[in-house]
Copies of this chain bind each other. A is one copy, B any other.
């Protein structure tokens, strides 16, 4: 086995062409086995094996620096840079993260997980090299799907201004997570069809030199191409045509489904653990599809993650023009939502919490200053969400809730969510965002009669005294549980409140609580800094009432264990109770 003997790029350089082809096959096998057991990003890695071998054959990492966009294609790179064991041996699968990671290897320069960043980040590496009067190649690798993101296009434009060597490898597999969207993809297609010879060329129009490699899964061809640009003295794009999922039939044929996968059966390609029951994604698609049929002006918007809204391919077709995928382009998603709302349409942009922050300025300026009645739904903004450091959903409360004019709502159940969504779509006064709760979806069948247009009216779901629990979103149920426990312990029934509104305080209710309460407890699913609880603490600042804020510490944890994280932050019934008892 060749792979077993690869301890670093120097070992790749020793191989013959034939051996590299065998190495590629071994890498594919290892990836397939690992993916079938462990899950992970699939398609992008399978297509990039030959390119990665060729890169490490031609260039001298880490002196030559390779930066991989979004990291979905870094597994082969990790295999060739001293981390093969994590792909060969089941007990070592968790030794590596799913993203490029400088803590793992000197061959990784950044922790990267969001798309469209590699060109700009690598430009910085090149600039520093120039300032220090050093040499060496700097290579940014980016997928065609990521190219539509603002930061990538800015970087592509700026790259032409760099002095000295700078190589941009465009891995063109003709796919984003789902199909690509945007006019540039016609140009990439034309370039593929003309063997790179079409006169009209996006990369040349950005002032860059250009090389096309048709056989993007042929190691020898790639090596020759990279040798030609190695040590080139000006920025150049190497446009490579690859096959997403190459080497595994189901993945080649169903590229969207196999962008990322959980454990599956290799023979059939069938997933091993099927998700059971409904979730917020499915519920959202069902609701919206029904709504769209009643109202032609309702439109769902995604920025390249259609299934987070529940819009699988069949549902996208069902929605037709009422479903928009703007590609990886969150800024444009926000702006388009505003434009639609201003012109009388009813837009709903569904976006992961971790990605909503890619459009802070657009949410503030394009939507909120204009008071456009657009709806944003944030998914996986929870301690129960993704736990890779680059994909955390712990920051959307401080990020969104302090933007003026925005009404940020926190439902605790499916029923509340759908009532809020319906209200938001139909109203024309406010920009609205809805933070979906984390953990398993709660559905209690309760009919929601609340009028959400009366802003910042909390609901007291249990009237008691001494202690009041304000449980936001995900942690409303924790508040209910802690309250019951406290009553058992003290014999006094505490008050429980579902606040609904993250963006404002119900001053009247908070004022009334002063009469019969000594301690106010807030619990929220996100970091405490800049969050919901601090607003309550400020409100009671000039009073004798004590306020205890529960939430997460401001930090960037990586691959944390949820239970440990909850304990560390006192987000359990028991620990909350202990803290309360210390204050009674």
Contacts and interface: CB of A to CB of B under 8 A. Distances in A.
A362 B117 contact: yes
Number of identical monomers bound together in the oligomeric complex: 2
Contact of A547 (B123, B149, B542): B542
24 contacts: A110-B339, A111-B369, A120-B339, A124-B336, A124-B338, A127-B299, A128-B340, A128-B342, A131-B297, A132-B296, A150-B151, A158-B327, A161-B181, A182-B207, A184-B207, A185-B207, A199-B200, A201-B205, A355-B361, A357-B360, A369-B556, A395-B402, A533-B538, A534-B535
A332 B182 CA distance: 21
A542 B538 contact: no
Contact of A369 (B163, B366, B389): B389
A343 B135 CA distance: 12
Interface of A: 65, 102, 109-114, 117, 120-133, 148-151, 153-161, 163, 181-187, 199-202, 204-208, 235, 296-297, 299, 321-322, 324, 326-327, 329, 331-332, 335-345, 347, 355, 357-358, 360-362, 364-366, 368-370, 389-390, 395, 398-399, 401-405, 527-531, 533-535, 537-538, 540-544, 546-549, 554-556, 583
A364 B395 contact: yes
A193 B199 CA distance: 17
The 10 closest A-B pairs by CB, nearest first: A124-B339, A150-B150, A183-B207, A160-B183, A120-B335, A128-B343, A402-B530, A128-B345, A153-B153, A530-B530
Contacts of A157: 148, 153, 182-184, 327, 329
Given A111-B370, A161-B181, A366-B117, A339 B206 contact: no
Contact of A200 (B109, B153, B200): B200
A120 B150 CA distance: 12
Contact of A132 (B117, B154, B235, B344): B344
A457 to B, nearest CB: 18
A297 B204 contact: no
A352 to B, nearest CB: 12
Contact of A401 (B338, B530, B538): B530
B158 A404 contact: no
A206 B202 contact: yes
A360 to B, nearest CB: 4
A155 B297 CA distance: 21
Contacts of A332: 120, 123, 151, 154-155, 158
A201 B205 CA distance: 6
Contacts of A128: 297, 339-345
Contacts of A360: 357-358, 360-361, 399
Nearest to A202: B205
Contacts of A161: 181-183, 326
A321 to B, nearest CB: 7
B390 A121 contact: no
A340 B358 CA distance: 22
Contacts of A555: 404-405
Nearest to A151: B331
Nearest to A337: B124
B200 A187 contact: no
Contacts of A200: 199-201, 204-205
Contact of A338 (B121, B331, B369): B121
A529 B535 contact: yes
Contacts of A531: 402, 530
Contacts of A341: 124, 128
Contacts of A358: 360-361
A199 B184 CA distance: 16
A531 B121 CA distance: 30
Contact of A538 (B121, B235, B329, B534): B534
Contacts of A326: 154, 158, 161
Contact of A546 (B129, B159, B542): B542
A500 B534 CA distance: 21
Contacts of A124: 335-343, 345, 347
Contacts of A202: 202, 205-206
Contact of A339 (B125, B181, B533): B125
Contact of A153 (B154, B321, B364, B534): B154
Contacts of A184: 157, 205-207
Contacts of A404: 527, 554-556
A127 B357 CA distance: 24
A44 to B, nearest CB: 19
A347 to B, nearest CB: 7
A148 B389 CA distance: 30
A153 B150 contact: yes
